Amino acid sequence: MNQLSVLLFGASGFVGKHARAALAADPRIATLTCPPRARHDLVDGDLASLSDLVREVRPDVVVNCTGRLNGTGLDLLEANTLVTARLIEAVAAAVPGARLVRLGSAAEYGVVEHGVSVTEDHPCEPVSEYGTTHLAATRLLQRAATAGQVDGVTLRVFNPIGAGLHRDNLLGRAAMLIRDALRRDGPAGVPGQVAFGQLGAYRDFVDVRDVASAVLAAVTAPEPGAGVVNVASGRAVTSREAVRRLAEAAGYTGPIGEHGTGPARSAAVNWIRADIGRAEAVLGWVPTHELSESVKAIWVALDAADGR
């Protein structure tokens, strides 16, 4: 595929803005359209207006980088599942057979045996409403692809981190807590304590720049039928280790407390690590950033935003 027209939703979000930069810089992308919410809101907008937008742009590829992490079951259903259903309908009606790329989640897998590198054909038994709504969206896209309505690709993203990470994510919240602790030094310059839920769970953290390059790879892949593809680092570390590395990047030497539990969408999952062989085989994609680079990027971006 070359000289592609791409319609990207969610270009102002955490992953979306990095995907936008990667797509805009690639010479294979002839036109990149990034409609703001004022033009069309995927959650609140109706199918007719979405279809009109897709018909107007006539893209070769539609990319959806929107989604919701928290909220009620209905909130998550609307943002993660129903949005996908509308996009399938709109693309199938306006540009039948065009590629539709969406971001899924490792939460679709649910509990995985410790030490296992999970592949895309591993049974999916999500343990949260968040994971369930993403899995439903993945299944809808798979069915539409099988029926020939769209060329569907779900990038099953594990734990994306990097510059601009929101506080809804562990390391985004950690960066803000560490910043605040450094600002309120105690006696003899000792920084105040930061505290989290339990940090013993293993996670597969992937740099958002690598996620963006996976989006680009999915958009430009010459062959159809990529299906579901894990996007991850292929390594598992404890959340404790990730927070410790972030603290080192920030120059924080104070205590790091742990109590309570983690977020409901992942608290029951103590281990997750991806097998990323399929991503290389079907998309030619491999991650290139180390965890130390990713956590440093989180801190540098927060520091710059504070004007320090």
Give the 3-state DSSP-derived string for the chain, with helices as H, strands as E and coil as C: CCCEEEEEECCCCHHHHHHHHHHHCCCCEEEEECCCCCCCCCCCCCHHHHHHHHHHHCCCEEEECCCCCCCCHHHHHHHHHHHHHHHHHHHHHHCCCCEEEEEEEHHHCECCCCCCCECCCCCCECCCHHHHHHHHHHHHHHHHHHCCCCEEEEEEECEEECCCCCCCCHHHHHHHHHHHHHHCCCHHHCCCCEEECCCCCEECEEEHHHHHHHHHHHHHCCCCCCEEEEECCCCCEEHHHHHHHHHHHHCCCCCEEECCCCCCCCCCCCCCCECCHHHHHHHCCCCCCCHHHHHHHHHHHHHHHCCC
Q: What gap in Å lies between CA 10 and CA 173, rounded to an integer?
A: 22
The catalytically annotated residue of 109, 130, 202, 252 is 130
Q: What gap in Å lies between CA 157 and CA 174, rounded to an integer?
A: 21
Partners of 228 in the beta sheet?
A: 154
Q: What gap in Å lies between CA 174 and CA 271, rounded to an integer?
A: 20
Partners of 227 in the beta sheet?
A: 153
Check if 130 is active-site. yes
Active site residues: 130
